[in-house]
Structure 1
Amino acid sequence: MKKSYILMLIVSLFFSSFTTQIHAQSEKKITIVVKDTKNKPVSGAVILFDNVRQKRWTNAKGVFKTKFTEAPKEISAFSQRIGISKVKYNGSDKVEITLKSNNDFKISGTPIQKNIKAIQYRDFYDYLRGQVPGVNVSMNNIINIRGYNSVNGSTTPLFVLNNNAIDQELLENIVPTTIKSVVVLKGPDASKYGSRGGNGVIEIYTY
């Protein structure tokens, strides 16, 4: 009886160790380095795997590290002040992305074809100007919904991202290629938000 228990314990430990090794082998580490055309690191760049935004940004050295079990087909880097670049992932442990103002894409010095749809809009404000009717966006990114005019008071609408109210400052973190839809509400349609929707509401939904 005692020998059987010891044998079962050994078998259990073996399979536990084997499963852990298999899991460790299936995980792949990747380091992404984002730079500008002057070879300077781009901090605060948003990283996307197959257009799915990752939870963290590049650090002060322009570096982003993570692990995955399923390799992405494409990796994107987005900077509010520069633009967005999308590259094909070739399976390497280190990926270097150069952000250019003209949005040419390159990975490890090898150019790849542009994705016009991905770079059509530099940021969320450009997206509003080009895709959302009924919204005015000034050159300094002041937003108001047409029909709401004020000389002295604010006409800034309420911004709701995936059913959560957010400050306008967070709009710059929204990557245009991740936007599923934008809905503009005013009048009775905005009343469900109470007084907060007094200047209208812009609902944003992302993938």
Structure 2
Amino acid sequence: MDLIAEITPSLLDGLQTTLLLFFIIVIVTIPLGFLIACVRVYAPKWISWIIQVYIYVMRGTPLLLQLMVVFFGLPFAGITFERFPAAVFTFVINYAAYYAEIFRGGILSVPNGQFEAIKVLGIGRIRGFRKIIIPQVMRVVLPSVGNEVISLVKDTSLIYILGLGELLRAGQIAANSYASLIPYVAVGAIYLLVTGIITLLLNVVEKKTDY
């Protein structure tokens, strides 16, 4: 218990960095992914093709490699990021690609007849899309979006490669300092607690959209 009390402040500092990155990425990438999906579905073919290439690269290469390229590789091209902005930028372009594919599947799942009905009823394309199409898309994609959100909590541990003091790095330092597995157990418990809370929140949101 003395060890837990001693390492708790450093673990909480690491948790703060982890949660900060998590909330920034969630807030930015979900709407950005939806926007990218809409562009891919409705834009001219050449724009859709460019987006497909972007999504293929983001989904086809490891996030850890992308972090290394952005922080360690881009300076050779004259583009330099600080550690945390590099993490944010990399996570945004990576997760936006995943969300874009999820939302694209949701958009394509809506029957074409509903789009035609919006036009016939004179509701207006933008208003009809916002009031009729988007709620159906969100209901379809919510489980998949939730899975990605949970994955994001764990993927934040990858920023250790940039030397940022996130939760897992704090636990690793404590484990090495005290030659004990207890810090790793504590880190695992914190991750389980965070993902448990997020899962409960996602379940509440999913029930509210179950109509």
TM over 0.5: no
Larger Rg: 1
Compute the TM-score of the two structures, normalised by the length of structure 2: 0.25
The higher relative CO (CA closer than 8 Å, separation ≥ 6) is in 2
Compute the TM-score of the two structures, normalised by the length of structure 1: 0.26
